[in-house]
Amino acid sequence: MESALDYHSALALLEWQVELGVTEAILDAPVDRYETPKQAPKPKAAPLPADDAPVVVAKREVDPVQVAKEAAKGAGDLDALRAAMAAFEHCELKRGARNLVFADGNPAGRVMIIGEAPGRDEDREGKPFVGRAGVLLDKMLAAIDMGRDVPLSKDAVYITNVLPWRPPQNRDPKPEEIAMLRPFLERHVEIVAPDVIVLMGNISCDAVLGRRGITRLRGNWQEAFGKPVIPMFHPAYLLRQPNAKREAWADLLSLKAKLGE
């Protein structure tokens, strides 16, 4: 009785047969591949439902964007909007985040800043722009005599984000995440009713203007939500690219001039 071939020996024999031109394996018993069955099997008829059988109704697919629109529309003030966002269960980001990052600053301020999404520090504290980027943002605003904590509302700013929950590993938000949370952002702007909106970074421009390319968009006044809008470099970008602070300063001066008109 022959001993079983090991893997390498069997593979070598198979490769040798392929080199000889073998294209088909022959079985121990002949197979007639042209033989047809004497009688084709009859298809089985589906059983008719009994009179008392339960009727199965197909589950309607939920449209998260429509759910968000209805929830946002019903929010009459900022507290109600925050509660509506907290109750929104159709965004997976909520399940991995520690806190809902709603807003910071003075809602009576003339300027509304829209950032991108919370980072680690923001997720931990539940406020937007509290990490290194937040410290730089406060310095930028102070340079034009504005801030989130200044006593006069005319010099105050109000800050929020496109997304209220932190994406895992700080990845960019997905298009479907932006789409389902945009109704809340739009309602947020309606309630606050700022004079001017600042879009910080590419994600904010994508959500509000439908475009990316912050190096081309920055500094150019546009309109969205019925308000004047100016895109600016995100402070986190300025921390990585300090040479861009000159353009950021020009944008801040443009903002200051716009408010003075």
Region 72-78: what's the mean pLDDT?
97
The three-class DSSP label of residue 174 is coil
User: Taking the CA of residue 112 as centre, how many other CA atoms within 13 Å lie in the half-sphere pointing to its CB?
Assistant: 26
Give the 3-state secondary structure percentages of the chain, helix then strand then coil, rounded to 5.
45, 10, 45
In this structure, what are the phi and psi dihedrals at residue 222, rounded to the nearest 5 degrees? -135, -170
Q: In what order do the strands lie in the sheet with 222-224?
A: 103-105, 157-161, 111-115, 196-200, 227-232, 222-224
User: Which residues are 128's β-sheet partners?
Assistant: none
Q: Are 159 and 113 in contact (CB under 8 A)?
A: yes
φ, ψ (nearest 5 deg) of residue 103: -170, 170
Q: What is the pLDDT of residues 9-25, one digit of tens each?
A: 777 777 777 777 777 76
Confidence of residue 33 (pLDDT cuts 50, 70, 90): low
Tokens of 87: 């109750």
Q: CA angle at residue 134 from 133 to 140, to 5 degrees?
A: 90
Are β-strands 196-200 and 222-224 bridged in parallel, bridged antiparallel, or unpaired? unpaired
Distance CA 67, CA 168 (A): 24
Mean pLDDT of the chain: 90
Is the pLDDT at 260 greater than 90? The verdict is: yes
CB 200 within 8 A of CB 113: yes
Domain ranges of the chain: 64-260
Find the mean pLDDT for residues 240-256. 97
**pLDDT greater than 90 at residue 141:** yes
pLDDT at residue 46, rounded to an integer: 65
- Res 142: pLDDT: 97
* Mean pLDDT across 77-99: 97
Residue 123 pLDDT exceeds 70:
yes
CATH fold of 64-260: Uracil-DNA Glycosylase, subunit E (3.40.470)
Interval 28-50 mean pLDDT: 66
- The answer to whether 157 and 141 have CB atoms below 8 angstroms apart is yes
Single out the residue of 89, 94, 88, 92 nearest to residue 71, CA to CA: 88
- pTM, two decimals, is 0.76
